[in-house]
Structure 1
Amino acid sequence: MSRRNLLRGAAAGAGAIALPSLLAACGGGPGGDGKTITMGSNSSDPVPKKAFADAFAAYAKQSKDGRKVKVNTVDHNTFQENINRYLQGKPDDVLMWFAGYRMQFFAKKGLLHDISDNWESYQGFSPALKAQSTGEDGKQYLTPYYYYPWAVFHRKSVFQQHGYQAPKTLDEYIALARQMQKDKLVPIAFCDKDGWPAMGTFDYINMRSNGYEFHKNLMAGKEAWTDKRVKEVFDTWRSILPYCQPGANGRTWQEAATSLQKKQAGMAVFGLPHPGAQFPKDEQADIDFFPFPVINPEHGQDAVEAPIDGFLLAKKSKNLKNAKTMESAKDLLKWLATGKAEDIYLASDPNNIAVSDEADLSKYTPLQKKAVELVSGAKQISQFLDRDTRPDFSSTVMIPAIQTFINKPKDVDGLVNSIERQKKTIFAAED
């Protein structure tokens, strides 16, 4: 299977959020020593944290000039919420971040270094990946590293025990949820304390109901949130909520994934890394998924959420003013763009999928291979609600709006009117 075809046709995505010394650079002295590259990391969970440590150690080992990476790890949500002031303050040289609009937003603000010269030597990346890494000015700013599709996850053993079949339509999905209730399971593990997990459910209901183009235009501020199509999304979601874990706004994604792992819940809408991070190694093979079910046959299961993560160079890094440090940072990115670098990472974190054609897919787990098939069969690829829209709209409007809906799902008219009023103000303002 060609990885060049895997992400072909993916649409540019987005979303970011907005702090200072908390994410301050950890380089030593003005300009650094030319060989130490500081890395701002949002990979605070144990599995990806170790995988990145392995990759960075491998880079240092193969470096002929004694180059090394010094990592500054910050809690994932804190990193996201403070990224704007971080980039405008004293950022690290390189930082982990997201493709599409989330990258473009900061590139447009002049907070990222252009790495188009690096891209001239990159091999194994599809045109779609390059598009996801390109700013509005046509220059490249991101080195992509991996992606992970979202789907409905479950345990094989639970489905086998009860004779459950993966549903293909919304009616079948709800019928399965009812049966799980009868079998004393929480049908759908559900969480939104972190502010973003429930966005995946909204996106899938919207894309299954109204199609990818409507999703893209809604996120871009080109469609009204008071449109009847949006109201129908919330109405559909409301019909599913009785089968979801109550108290979602007080539950982290880790807690929701653990309830799936403990066989307390039957299903969960997650990204590939989330259940994997909470399952012990000897239970990993029991994880399975099915695509989010069909709602409108016109759109079927055409669209798949598959966010892409990678690396950026911070324009305001004091160390990158040193030409040698800049050379070292770009050298690190060139190495991270290789299939070998992705193989080293994925050996410790099999919960993601490599973006490079050069990566070794033969070592993939059955779950990873299934994830590749899911994305390769998609007609459209989205980047997730908070990546496909303006960061300020995502953080200040959509996070509280969805949490409000979860608590009070009946007042859809009031909800969409509030979102639309705020949207008009935000999208009318200059970035």
Structure 2
Amino acid sequence: MSRRNVLRGVAAGAGAVTLPALLTACGDGPGGNKNEVTMGSNSSDAVPKKAFQDAFDAYKKKTGKTVKVHTTEHNEFQQNITRYLRATPDDVFMWFAGYRMQYFAEKGLLVDISDVWKGFSGFSQALKDQSTHDGKQYFVPYYYYPWAVFHRKSLFAKQGYEQAKNWDEFIALAKKMHKDGIPVAFCDKDGWPAMGTFDYINMRLNGYDFHKGLMAGEEAWTDTKVKKVFDLWRELMPYYQKGALGRTWEEAGQGLQKRRTGMAVFGMPHPGQQFPADERDDIDFFAFPEIDPAHGQDAVEAPIDGFLIAKKARNVDAGKDLLEWLGTPGAEEVYLAGDPNNVAVNDKADTAKYSALQKKSAELVSGAKQISQFLDRDTRPDFAQTVMIKALQDFIDDPQDVDGLVNRIERQKKDIFAQAAG
């Protein structure tokens, strides 16, 4: 779930380094073992890894069928996903909704599971849309998590900080933290965390439709609207932690937990996984501040994670059986009992045991007029990986040369999208 996180080199394809764990042959030959389904997992962090195992154990108890999990470190899984799907993948694998799913469906690397979807209930049309390509369903959503500005309640109370509602208040809060010797948490060693801040400034300044057009290659990165995004972002730079390009998201989350930093633009699991259970009630957030009143805080980044069946799966029938169960409210409830850092997508799931943070997260997303999936999920993976990771890291390293930055992005964007169209 670290994007969230998340995916250097996805487009490297055949040039990527092959991970043995990813490319292990699965099943017992053609058709596989009907009582066993293999799962390619990118959930390498302790909390979600255990929660997924709880869910798979519940499936075995219910059906007698085993889920054999092959877990790979999150970023490494993303780096090798294209080669993985073209080689000998697991039957089912964890991935992302929206464009990230559609890209592989378009490449013919996924199994159509429209028949599985006919038995589902509790999923909104918006969720179905995020799981669909060319009129067919390929994805089973499992949970989502919003991005916002996270902080510790106790630190805000101690320091007298107030949650910011607009950009001016946000900058003023960052300045006050800086004066108190408490920087704003920031990291981008993993190549994806900074994308969340870019997306939010862009959507708050230019609106959701412009975000979608920019991600689709339809808007120019040299547009003054994009330059203004970077100009505004530069206002925050003096108040960030130093050394962002050498800091992982886990380290940034730990800094927030240890009160070394004051706030962070993150997805809900990122601080959540770094806080001990007895401290999670101290986590709070506020929606990314308003910049232009015309767009307010209408859009919320809320990536959806779930499951797909690889086209080269050896045991498609067993994979579909597992997905039928994973699409039920009960399957989500088992998972969320072990991982309170996400929110159920099925509206029939029991929310009675939700923490205050989960309830607030659900309210934030349900009240949104638009929901985005995150930069590297809303655009072509090759563009996100080969262009935007480096571009944003270049900006963090040298935030002054915006003209040169957007010119480079636009030039590379034209090449990539032209090749795709051709």
TM (norm. structure 1) is 0.93
The DSSP-based 3-state class of the residue aligned with 1:310 is: strand
Cross-structure match for 1:154: 151
Q: Distance in 2 between matches of 1:142 and 1:61?
A: 24
Sort the Cα spacing of 1:15 and 1:181 in 2 relative to 1 into closer, same or farther, 3 A: closer
In the TM superposition, structure 1's runs of 4+ consecutive aligned residues that sit over 4 Å from their partners are: none
User: 1:118-197 counterparts in 2 under 5 A?
Assistant: 118-135=116-133, 137-186=134-183, 188-197=184-193
Q: From 95, 98, 107, give the equivalent of 1:97.
A: 95
The letter for the 1-side match of 2:328 is T
Cross-structure match for 2:255: 259
Cross-structure match for 1:38: 38
Cross-structure match for 1:309: 305
Q: From 268, 271, 275, give the equivalent of 1:275.
A: 271
Q: Distance in 1 between matches of 2:286 and 2:116?
A: 38
User: 1:364-403 counterparts in 2 under 5 A?
Assistant: 364-403=354-393
Q: Distance in 1 between matches of 2:87 and 2:19?
A: 8
Cross-structure match for 2:395: 405
Sort the Cα spacing of 1:327 and 1:263 in 2 relative to 1 into closer, same or farther, 3 A: same
CA contact (8 A) 1:115 1:141 kept: yes
Q: Distance in 2 between matches of 1:116 and 1:28?
A: 24
User: 1:20-99 counterparts in 2 under 5 A?
Assistant: 20-22=18-20, 23-25=22-24, 27-31=26-30, 32-63=32-63, 66-99=64-97
Percentage of identical aligned residues:
67
CA contact (8 A) 1:16 1:102 kept: no
CA contact (8 A) 2:26 2:88 kept: no
Sort the Cα spacing of 1:138 and 1:15 in 2 relative to 1 into closer, same or farther, 3 A: farther
1:345 Cα deviation from its structure 2 partner: 0.1
The letter for the 1-side match of 2:209 is E
Q: Distance in 1 between matches of 2:10 and 2:307?
A: 17
Q: Distance in 2 between matches of 1:81 and 1:393?
A: 14
TM (norm. structure 2) is 0.95
Sort the Cα spacing of 1:196 and 1:313 in 2 relative to 1 into closer, same or farther, 3 A: same
Cross-structure match for 2:228: 232
CA contact (8 A) 2:95 2:308 kept: yes
Q: Distance in 1 between matches of 2:365 and 2:397?
A: 33
List gaps (5 residues or longer) in structure 1: 1-13, 321-325
Q: Distance in 2 between matches of 1:309 and 1:82?
A: 18
Q: Distance in 1 between matches of 2:109 and 2:43?
A: 21
For each residue in 1:287-338, what CA deviation from the matched residue of structure 2 results, as whole angstroms up to 9, or x when unmatched? 0000011111111100000000110000012x23xxxxx2221111010000
RMSD: 1.3
The letter for the 2-side match of 1:44 is S
CA contact (8 A) 2:27 2:38 kept: no
Q: Distance in 2 between matches of 1:414 and 1:374?
A: 37
Q: From 209, 212, 215, give the equivalent of 2:208.
A: 212
1:254 Cα deviation from its structure 2 partner: 0.3
List gaps (5 residues or longer) in structure 2: 1-6
Cross-structure match for 1:427: 417
